[in-house]
Structure 1
Amino acid sequence: MSEPLTVPSTLAHRIEQLLPAARAGRLGHLRRGIEKEGLRVEASGHIVQTPHPEALGSKLTHPSITTDYSESLLEYITPVFCQPRAALAFLADLHAYSYRHMDSEWIWPASMPSKLSGNDSVPIADFGSSNSGVMKHVYRKGLDVRYGRIMQAIAGVHYNVSLPDEMWQALRDVEGQTETPFNDYRSTRYFGLIRNFRRHSWLLLYLFGASPAIDKSFLDGRRVPDKLEPLGDDTYVAPFATTLRMSDLGYQNKVQEQLKICFNSLSNYVNTLRNAISTPWPDYQALGVNEGGDWRQLNANILQIENEYYSDIRPKRVASQGETPSQALEARGVEYIEVRCLDLNPFDPLGVTETQMRFLDTFLMWCLLSDSPWISDEECDHLDDNRRLVVERGRDPALRLSNNGEAIGVREWGEQIVGDMQSVAELLDAAEDGTPHLDALAALAPRLQDAALTPSAQLLERMRGEGASFNDVVLSLAKEQADRLRRQTSTTLDDALLAQQAVTSHQQQRDMEAVDEPRFDDFMADYFARARESRAITPLSAGEAS
């Protein structure tokens, strides 16, 4: 590896001051939760048209098993765990239980979807007749008329991370910010983490991107983009791409580009989103909203609701009854962050590994502890360019990125970052048995030296080596993984508990639907009236940049 960057004195000082408390076990552990999506497919590799399996419970009310956009797109949600292995064990039990209750269906282990038969072959999820269920369904109808359903068949992993209060208190002491209200301090520092994440998330796209190919049905008759070339009769690939999921083929929205959210402050973030859910957009107005009782979308604004904003990372706070996500942030500050740029790892049945989680934890802590000035509009554009280049050409040895105006190669810059992360890994390992964070850096660093080791390259190599299509290779992986999971013995959740949760969730949905609710029109009018209200209690302190 090349020589690492000199660790900034502020980073070195923070780590030096935190190490004694970490070694004494006074900082606690990071807290992690996983949301993992996966399409259900038939034996041929086509997306299924069957309803969400009854045995998996109500997707409206089940705490751990739901769907995302489509009736066919399973989503698993773990509780918060202090150890990555525990979160993965919970996730594995959800998969195993599902496979024992799915007849001749498989969970697609890749981010880009299986074979489709046009837009309407992606069924929109149905959440029942309660107002909240209808709202979820109409929101998804709105995504269809705005962007089409095919984009909504893409899957990924969302990784949720928070620091324990003990760690925040120690960091606040180190930085001499004890007079700053705790929630204000934590929110400000989380936004500093997010800004550094935005500066360097291209590294995660390179290391973990695993979607360099698509089935030709994904294009649904559209012109083949210049970045793609055919591989056999049914597959298109981008030879140096890392994650087409994060390209303009995936979750991208040109209307949202005007929002220019660069995460410089909580107030700016909240106000920008609130403005977006209140500002009409002419093209969306032309689509219609409620046409004679047929709801086509929730509204004709830039965003129907805040969840429609696409970003590779989000500040989050668990909302109370009647709160929008932004109102929860306003009222009580940032509670955790959600990393949203991760492809499914097609070579692992859970889509994510412990090594990957340990690397992510170290990366996020490095983003937090390093200096993070505000992002100008000009820098924001450069960051977008870097991400786009890595998405489309990340494994191209000739690729150069822009680091503060200086051209630099992916390998050189990546090795500098990983070198900087060593001291952060040592800090996190001080509270662990062994050195799992340092081990994760050592395990993944070779991918920078040899792009052939990246999952995007490995998936392409398997297709080329077997002379097989994207669909055939991924379906083969799905069936291999299903065999393993069906035989797996549960470690954290037994079938009886999950069966009872399914029964309870169905009853909860029926109870919701039995309540005498207001007309849906009135329900939505009340929702958006409340969504426009500010819930800010006191303004954040002025020094929001770290």
Structure 2
Amino acid sequence: MSVSDQLATNVGRLMTPARNGLLGRLRRGIEKEGLRVDGHGAIVATPHPHALGSKLTHPHITTDYSEALLEYITPVYCRPADALSFLGDLLRFSYRHLDGEWIWPASMPSRLQGNDSIPIADYGTSNVGTMKHVYRKGLDARYGRIMQSIAGIHYNVSFPENLWPMLQELEGRQDESLQGYRSGRYFDLIRNFRRNSWLLLYLFGASPALDKSFLGGGENGRAAKLQPLGEQTLQAPYATSLRMSDLGYQNKVQSQLKICFNSLSNYVGTLRHAISTEWPDYRRIGVDVDGEWRQLSANILQIENEYYSDIRPKRVARHDETPTQALEARGVEYIEVRCLDLNPFLPLGIDEPQMRFLDTFLFWCLLSESPWIPDDECDRLDDNRRLVVERGRDPALELQVGDRRMTVKARGQEIIHGMREVAELLDAIEGDDLHVAAIDTLAMRLDDPSLTPSARMLEAMKAHGGEWADFMTDLAKAQAEQWRSTPMDEAREALFAQQIETSHQQQQDIEAEDQVSFAQFIADYFSRAREPRSAA
């Protein structure tokens, strides 16, 4: 059975249950990051506002790497519009408590004054809060803070629980445990995502330029692929997402891990090896040096979350588990898409058509054939992603797709054709035509690259005067005015106000309950982290 035949067969078998309301609905949540900046577009050094709650314990408003890098987390919703509505109210609430500061709307950061201008987030005096801070100190020692100031959108999706036993029966795999089957199928999805995620970078990449300060104060080899746009701005004319290029997130040590997501056991085993294996360069940094903690360990990864990938299998962990132990014990619960730039033209950085496109793309990845990825294919997939982030809108660009060379447009249209069948399935579940409409609208970006966010960004910057930071600062202020001038949901406003007080009290309680030294706390953590967990 060909790839297209398998997809058509799967969609055909699921269509009747979908129309009869038997499949259930996808669930999704959004995590959105954004730097706090001043009126000149420079990153701020002020602490996380007390009026936004404790970043250690607040369920929806926290920080990522930096004290200045806000992170908003929505609950899980079945309807994209509900997640966007909640996210919008988080921004409205924040702007009531930001005085002379704005939220940067782009992924590549604002004006920086060197590495030390990016304050590392401080989570208080508890052992768990200190661990989060020391982990970030380790990231600074290993990669520098500038790389960590990049922002993005993380999109979390889980498929309906009703889907798994239905698919399992259709595929004749009832001899497997449902948990093992579900995890294996999520890894099938992830492999197809890795093969085709370049399409998301082309369609949604929105970082074709950056401020020169991002390069750390000098023209160097990293800027060789860039051209000047303004006095303080560099661009790559055909780039889609410099955030995802070697200018953005990069880790040569991690690249030797070779995680291509062939199985849950391989994934867990590789990450456990990485958090248990010392790396010479990191040993030279030191860990606890005369009472000063420089990093959590000298191993390839300090903790599992240090591993960077454009997609992750996830399971909500219990208090005594690491992320991989949670996966081992209870299997994959959802997936986290991590390759999405903030779209500065969208006040939330993402909108409903993009969410529906992503849902369709992920379902297409799940229902299509997904053989294991050997090392040589893994390298080719990395090459395809690199080419698209650096010059995805170049009409002469060709990708390696199996044994074929194909243009971005030609291969993209093949994928869209298959996705349209899946969009019809999702619309049957929802009783509307919004997924097909999203596919048809966004597919136009393959025919006309000028419609992509990256191309629109460059044109808008040129019209504005050519400076990345000035354009983004003005855009941030315009969006702030929009959030300040629109009302919040009253029930949500009351909830947020209550969560501020509760989160500060929870942090105080955690700090008061610590019974062991930080050194003992870390020793106990890593002792537990090395323990395998049995599947439920």
Q: For this structure pair, what is the TM-score category when the shorter chain's length is used for normalisation?
A: over 0.9
* CA distance in structure 2 between the partners assigned to 1:232 and 1:112 by the alignment: 16
Q: Give the aligned partner of residue 191 of structure 1.
A: 187
Which stretches of structure 1, 4 residues or more, deviate above 4 A after TM superposition?
A: none
Q: Give the aligned partner of residue 323 of structure 1.
A: 321
- Amino acid across the alignment from 2:212: K
Q: Give the aligned partner of residue 513 of structure 1.
A: 511
Instruction: Note the C-alpha offset of 1:173.
Output: 1.8
* CA distance in structure 2 between the partners assigned to 1:432 and 1:494 by the alignment: 26
* CA distance in structure 1 between the partners assigned to 2:35 and 2:411 by the alignment: 35
Instruction: Note the C-alpha offset of 1:406.
Output: 1.3
In the TM superposition, 1:133-148 aligns within 5 A as 133-148=129-144
Give secondary structure in 1 for the equivalent of 2:256.
helix
* CA distance in structure 2 between the partners assigned to 1:493 and 1:384 by the alignment: 46
In the TM superposition, 1:73-84 aligns within 5 A as 73-84=69-80
Q: Answer yes or no: is the 8 Å Cα contact 1:131–1:517 preserved in 2.
A: no
Q: Give the aligned partner of residue 416 of structure 1.
A: 414
Q: Give the aligned partner of residue 369 of structure 1.
A: 367
Q: Answer yes or no: is the 8 Å Cα contact 1:93–1:492 preserved in 2.
A: no
Question: Mean Cα displacement is larger for which, 73-82 or 493-502?
Answer: 493-502
* CA distance in structure 2 between the partners assigned to 1:517 and 1:246 by the alignment: 42
- Amino acid across the alignment from 1:146: R
1:513-541 residue CA offsets vs partner (Å, 9 max, x unmatched): 11142000000000000000000337xxx
1:107 paired to 2:87:
no
* CA distance in structure 1 between the partners assigned to 2:62 and 2:521 by the alignment: 23
Give secondary structure in 1 for the equivalent of 2:135.
helix
* CA distance in structure 2 between the partners assigned to 1:469 and 1:109 by the alignment: 15
* CA distance in structure 1 between the partners assigned to 2:289 and 2:521 by the alignment: 17
1:19-78 residue CA offsets vs partner (Å, 9 max, x unmatched): 000000111110001100000000010001110011100000000000000000000001
* CA distance in structure 2 between the partners assigned to 1:493 and 1:329 by the alignment: 35
Q: Give the aligned partner of residue 479 of structure 1.
A: 477
In the TM superposition, 1:45-444 aligns within 5 A as 45-222=41-218, 223=220, 225-444=223-442
Instruction: Note the C-alpha offset of 1:492.
Output: 7.2
List alignment gaps of at least 5 residues for structure 2. Answer: none
1:12 paired to 2:4:
no
Instruction: Note the C-alpha offset of 1:433.
Output: 3.5
- Amino acid across the alignment from 1:482: A
Q: Answer yes or no: is the 8 Å Cα contact 1:69–1:125 preserved in 2.
A: yes
TM-score (norm 1): 0.96
Q: Give the aligned partner of residue 19 of structure 2.
A: 23
Give secondary structure in 1 for the equivalent of 2:260.
coil
- Amino acid across the alignment from 1:283: D
- Amino acid across the alignment from 1:398: A
CA separation of 1:349 and 1:110: change in aligned 2, threshold 3 A = same
Q: Answer yes or no: is the 8 Å Cα contact 2:233–2:466 preserved in 1.
A: no
Instruction: Note the C-alpha offset of 1:317.
Output: 0.3
Q: Answer yes or no: is the 8 Å Cα contact 2:29–2:74 preserved in 1.
A: yes
- Amino acid across the alignment from 2:438: A
* CA distance in structure 2 between the partners assigned to 1:74 and 1:433 by the alignment: 36
1:359-405 residue CA offsets vs partner (Å, 9 max, x unmatched): 00000000000000000000000000000000101001110000012
1:387-429 residue CA offsets vs partner (Å, 9 max, x unmatched): 0000101001110000012110001110111011111000000
- Amino acid across the alignment from 1:380: C
2:523 to 521, 525, 533: 525
Give secondary structure in 2 for the equivalent of 1:298.
coil
* CA distance in structure 2 between the partners assigned to 1:113 and 1:537 by the alignment: 42
* CA distance in structure 2 between the partners assigned to 1:438 and 1:341 by the alignment: 23
Instruction: Note the C-alpha offset of 1:491.
Output: 3.1
Q: Answer yes or no: is the 8 Å Cα contact 2:190–2:261 preserved in 1.
A: yes
* CA distance in structure 2 between the partners assigned to 1:517 and 1:293 by the alignment: 19
* CA distance in structure 2 between the partners assigned to 1:385 and 1:430 by the alignment: 37
- Amino acid across the alignment from 1:168: W
* CA distance in structure 2 between the partners assigned to 1:530 and 1:207 by the alignment: 42
Q: What number of residue pairs does the alignment pair up? A: 533
Instruction: Note the C-alpha offset of 1:178.
Output: 2.2
- Amino acid across the alignment from 1:345: N
Q: Answer yes or no: is the 8 Å Cα contact 1:90–1:493 preserved in 2.
A: no
1:281-338 residue CA offsets vs partner (Å, 9 max, x unmatched): 0000111110011000000000000000000000000001110000000001100000
Q: Answer yes or no: is the 8 Å Cα contact 1:93–1:491 preserved in 2.
A: yes
CA separation of 1:128 and 1:287: change in aligned 2, threshold 3 A = same
* CA distance in structure 1 between the partners assigned to 2:535 and 2:425 by the alignment: 35
- Amino acid across the alignment from 2:356: R
Instruction: Note the C-alpha offset of 1:7.
Output: 6.1
* CA distance in structure 2 between the partners assigned to 1:62 and 1:399 by the alignment: 45
* CA distance in structure 2 between the partners assigned to 1:537 and 1:465 by the alignment: 57
Q: Answer yes or no: is the 8 Å Cα contact 2:137–2:294 preserved in 1.
A: yes
* CA distance in structure 1 between the partners assigned to 2:72 and 2:534 by the alignment: 32
Q: Answer yes or no: is the 8 Å Cα contact 2:127–2:514 preserved in 1.
A: no
* CA distance in structure 1 between the partners assigned to 2:244 and 2:102 by the alignment: 24
List alignment gaps of at least 5 residues for structure 1. Answer: 1-5, 539-546
- Amino acid across the alignment from 1:25: G
- Amino acid across the alignment from 1:173: E
Q: Give the aligned partner of residue 3 of structure 1.
A: none
Instruction: Note the C-alpha offset of 1:493.
Output: 4.8
* CA distance in structure 1 between the partners assigned to 2:231 and 2:514 by the alignment: 55
Give secondary structure in 2 for the equivalent of 1:198.
helix
* CA distance in structure 2 between the partners assigned to 1:452 and 1:506 by the alignment: 47
Give secondary structure in 2 for the equivalent of 1:109.
coil
Instruction: Note the C-alpha offset of 1:477.
Output: 1.1
2:459 to 458, 461, 469: 461
* CA distance in structure 2 between the partners assigned to 1:177 and 1:488 by the alignment: 52
Q: Answer yes or no: is the 8 Å Cα contact 1:67–1:125 preserved in 2.
A: yes
* CA distance in structure 1 between the partners assigned to 2:336 and 2:490 by the alignment: 24
- Amino acid across the alignment from 1:135: M
Question: Mean Cα displacement is larger for which, 337-346 or 479-488?
Answer: 479-488
1:156-210 residue CA offsets vs partner (Å, 9 max, x unmatched): 0000000111111221121112221110000000000000000000000000000
Root-mean-square deviation over aligned CA pairs: 1.0
TM-score (norm 2): 0.98
* CA distance in structure 2 between the partners assigned to 1:205 and 1:331 by the alignment: 33
Give secondary structure in 1 for the equivalent of 2:346.
coil
Instruction: Note the C-alpha offset of 1:221.
Output: 2.2
